[in-house]
C-alpha cells in the first residue's frame, strides 16, 4: 500500500509537468486535436511537446517530427495515433526515456482477433522499457486540482472531491456537466482505464485512496480482473475513505455489452456483490445512484445508525420519503417526550410530529432552517435527518414584494436570506455531527439548492434518492465496522 500519491505509477500521469503528445494536428476534427485543445483551453500550466511527422506547429505549439528531438524527457506520453503505429510510438518513447503513458487509441483486445496480439505487443514494449501506462482504448485523465483535462470534452475546470476510476471513458468526460449541473461538483481526479493492459483499477483505487483532494471514490466496473488484489487493496482504502461502485456486467445482456466494449469477461451479479461486501464497497444500482452517493458521502458526516427524522412542510414528499426509508432499511423512530416538548411552540395545529415531522405552513420561515432542525438533531434516538426543501425563491420574492420592498432591495434581501438559511443548516450539521440529506424537486437554478450544496449540505432531487443515499452511508459504516472487527 502506498502512503503518498507520489509513490503511485499514476502520479506522473495525473500530475505531469510535461507531456509528449502524439496524434494532435491542425485538423481540428481529429480526436487527438480535440484532446489537445481541451488541455490547452482548460489551463494546463506544464509544457506540451506535440509530435507530428510533418507539421512545424500544432495548435500554435512547436511540434517535433520525432520524440527523440524533444529537448527534454517528458513526464508522460499521450498517444492518440492510428492503431497500427501505436506500438512503434510507445517504443520510441521508451528509447527516449519516457516512463509513463496514456494510450487513447482503440483497436486492441476489445476488437478480438489481431487486436489481442497488438495489445500483447504494447505490454511487451512497456515491460522492456519499464513504462507504466493507462489504456489502450481509454479516453484520458483529468485532475481538476492541477488544471489538467486531457479528454476530448471541455470540463469548465470545476474542482471537486469525487475521485473516479472508470472502465468507460464516458463516465469521466460526459459527467463534467452532469456533476456541475446537479451538484456544483467536478472530479478531484478521474482515470479512464480502457483495456487495462498495464495500469488497472486497483492502481487507481490505491492512488485515489492516498489523494488528499479525494473524499470519496467512484468506480464504474465492467469486470474485475484481479479479484484477490482488488479486495485486499479496497479493504484497506475503504477503512478510511468510502468507495462506491456501479457494476454493469451483472446481467447476461450487460455481460455481452461489456465484452464488446472493453473485451472483458464480466461475472455473475452475486459474485460481485460478495466482492464488494468483502471490500467494504457500497454498490450503486445505477449511474445516478453512483454520483448521488458520492455527493452525500463527500458532504456530510457519517450516521452512527439507521434511525432518522424526516422534516417537511409538505405531506406528500414526507410520505414518499417515509415509504422510501422503510424500503431501504432505515427506521423512523417516534420522537421522545423531551423533543416533543421542545418542538411544540413551532408546530401549527394542522401539522404532525409523528415523524415525518410535517410543519405544513410555518409562520417564521427561519424556524425551518434553524430552531426546528436543531431540536430534531438533539433527539438522542435519531442518527440524522432528511429535510424537504420547497425553498422557492419566487415565494420569498412575492412576500418581500408584497411588503413593499423595492426591486433592488429584494435582490439583496433574497441573497441575504438564502445565505443565512443555508449557512444555518450547514453549521447545525457540523455542530451535531449527524448527517442531513436534503431533497428538493428544484435544481441548482434555485438559489437555495445551490446555496445548500455549495455550503456542503447534500441535496438530492427526490425523496427516494435521498433515502437511498442515507441508507448507503449506513451500509458503508456497517461494512467498515465489520472489516475493522475482523482485523482486531
Is 367 among the residues that bind a copy of itself (CB under 8 A)?
no
Is 268 among the residues that bind a copy of itself (CB under 8 A)?
no
Is the separation of the CB atoms in 453 and 253 below 8 Å? no
Q: How many residues bind a copy of itself (CB under 8 A)?
A: 90
Distance between CA 256 and CA 259 in Å, rounded?
5
Name which of residues 55 to 94 contact a copy of itself (CB under 8 A).
none
Is 287 among the residues that bind a copy of itself (CB under 8 A)?
yes
Is 104 among the residues that bind a copy of itself (CB under 8 A)?
no
Distance between CA 208 and CA 406 in Å, rounded?
50
Distance between CA 55 and CA 65 in Å, rounded?
8
Distance between CA 211 and CA 11 in Å, rounded?
10
Residue of the chain from 77, 150, 442, 479 that contacts a copy of itself (CB under 8 A): 442
Is 124 among the residues that bind a copy of itself (CB under 8 A)?
no
* Residue with smaller CB distance to a copy of itself, 137 or 300: 137
Name which of residues 29 to 58 contact a copy of itself (CB under 8 A).
29, 31, 33-34, 37
Residue of the chain from 352, 362, 413, 427 that contacts a copy of itself (CB under 8 A): 352
Residue of the chain from 44, 220, 346, 448 that contacts a copy of itself (CB under 8 A): 220
Is the separation of the CB atoms in 83 and 106 below 8 Å? yes
Distance between CA 110 and CA 237 in Å, rounded?
30
Is 292 among the residues that bind a copy of itself (CB under 8 A)?
no
Residue of the chain from 213, 262, 311, 421 that contacts a copy of itself (CB under 8 A): 262
Looking at 68-76, 107-115, 273-281, 474-482, which segment touches a copy of itself (CB under 8 A)?
A: 107-115
Name which of residues 232 to 261 contact a copy of itself (CB under 8 A).
246, 248-254, 256-261
* Residue with smaller CB distance to a copy of itself, 126 or 442: 442
Is the separation of the CB atoms in 215 and 9 below 8 Å? no
Is the separation of the CB atoms in 224 and 275 below 8 Å? yes
Name which of residues 134 to 153 contact a copy of itself (CB under 8 A).
137, 152-153
Residue 37 CB partners (closer than 8 Å, separation 6+): 28, 59
Q: Name the nearest CA neighbour of 176 among 298, 48, 43, 38.
A: 38
Distance between CA 141 and CA 173 in Å, rounded?
9
x/- mask, a copy of itself, residues 166-205, rule CB under 8 A, reads: xxxxxx--xx-xx--x------------------------
Amino acid at each position: 500500500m502506498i502512503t503518498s500519491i507520489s509513490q503511485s505509477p499514476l502520479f506522473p500521469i495525473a500530475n505531469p509537468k510535461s507531456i509528449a503528445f502524439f496524434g494532435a494536428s491542425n485538423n481540428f476534427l481529429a480526436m487527438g486535436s480535440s484532446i489537445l485543445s481541451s488541455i490547452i483551453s482548460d489551463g494546463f500550466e506544464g509544457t506540451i511537446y506535440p509530435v507530428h511527422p510533418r507539421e512545424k506547429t500544432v495548435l500554435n505549439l512547436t511540434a517535433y517530427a520525432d520524440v527523440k528531438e524533444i529537448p527534454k524527457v517528458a513526464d508522460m506520453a499521450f498517444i492518440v495515433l492510428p492503431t497500427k503505429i501505436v506500438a512503434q510510438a510507445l517504443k520510441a518513447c521508451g528509447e527516449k526515456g519516457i516512463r509513463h503513458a496514456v494510450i487513447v487509441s482503440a483497436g486492441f483486445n476489445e476488437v478480438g482477433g489481431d487486436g489481442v496480439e497488438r495489445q500483447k505487443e504494447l505490454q511487451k514494449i512497456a515491460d522492456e522499457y519499464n513504462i507504466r501506462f493507462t489504456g489502450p482504448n481509454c479516453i484520458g485523465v483529468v485532475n481538476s486540482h492541477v488544471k489538467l483535462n486531457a479528454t476530448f470534452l471541455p470540463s469548465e475546470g470545476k474542482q471537486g472531491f469525487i475521485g473516479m476510476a472508470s472502465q468507460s471513458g464516458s463516465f469521466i468526460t460526459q459527467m463534467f456537466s452532469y456533476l456541475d449541473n446537479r451538484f456544483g461538483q467536478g472530479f478531484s481526479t478521474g482515470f479512464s482505464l480502457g483495456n487495462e493492459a498495464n495500469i488497472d483499477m486497483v492502481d487507481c483505487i490505491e492512488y485515489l485512496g492516498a489523494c488528499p483532494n479525494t473524499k470519496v471514490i467512484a468506480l464504474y466496473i465492467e469486470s474485475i480482473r484481479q479479484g484477490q488484489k482488488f479486495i485486499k487493496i479496497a479493504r484497506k482504502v475503504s477503512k478510511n475513505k468510502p468507495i462506491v461502485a456501479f457494476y454493469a456486467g451483472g446481467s447476461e445482456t450487460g455481460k455481452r455489452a461489456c465484452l464488446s466494449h472493453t473485451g472483458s469477461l464480466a461475472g455473475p451479479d452475486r459474485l460481485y456483490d460478495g466482492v464488494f461486501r468483502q471490500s467494504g464497497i457500497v454498490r450503486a444500482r445505477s449511474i445516478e445512484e453512483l454520483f448521488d452517493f458520492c455527493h452525500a458521502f463527500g458532504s456530510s458526516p457519517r450516521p452512527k445508525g439507521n434511525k432518522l427524522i424526516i422534516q417537511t412542510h409538505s405531506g406528500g414528499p414526507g410520505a414518499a420519503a417515509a415509504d422510501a426509508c422503510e424500503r431501504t432499511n432505515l427506521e423512523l423512530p417516534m420522537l421522545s417526550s423531551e423533543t416533543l416538548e421542545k418542538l411544540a411552540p413551532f408546530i401549527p395545529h394542522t401539522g404532525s410530529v409523528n415523524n415525518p415531522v410535517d410543519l405544513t405552513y410555518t409562520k417564521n420561515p427561519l424556524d425551518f432552517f434553524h430552531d426546528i432542525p436543531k431540536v430534531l438533531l438533539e433527539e438522542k434516538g435519531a442518527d440524522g435527518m432528511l429535510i424537504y426543501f420547497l425553498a422557492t425563491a419566487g415565494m420569498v420574492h412575492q412576500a418581500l414584494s408584497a411588503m413593499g420592498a423595492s426591486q433592488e432591495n429584494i435582490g439583496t434581501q433574497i441573497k441575504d436570506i438564502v445565505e443565512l438559511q443555508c449557512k444555518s443548516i450547514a453549521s447545525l450539521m457540523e455542530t451535531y455531527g449527524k448527517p442531513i440529506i436534503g431533497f428538493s424537486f428544484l435544481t441548482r437554478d434555485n438559489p437555495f439548492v445551490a446555496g445548500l450544496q455549495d455550503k456542503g449540505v447534500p441535496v438530492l432531487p427526490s425523496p427516494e434518492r435521498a433515502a437511498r443515499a442515507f441508507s448507503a452511508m449506513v451500509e458503508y459504516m456497517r461494512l467498515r465496522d465489520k472489516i475493522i472487527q475482523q482485523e482486531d
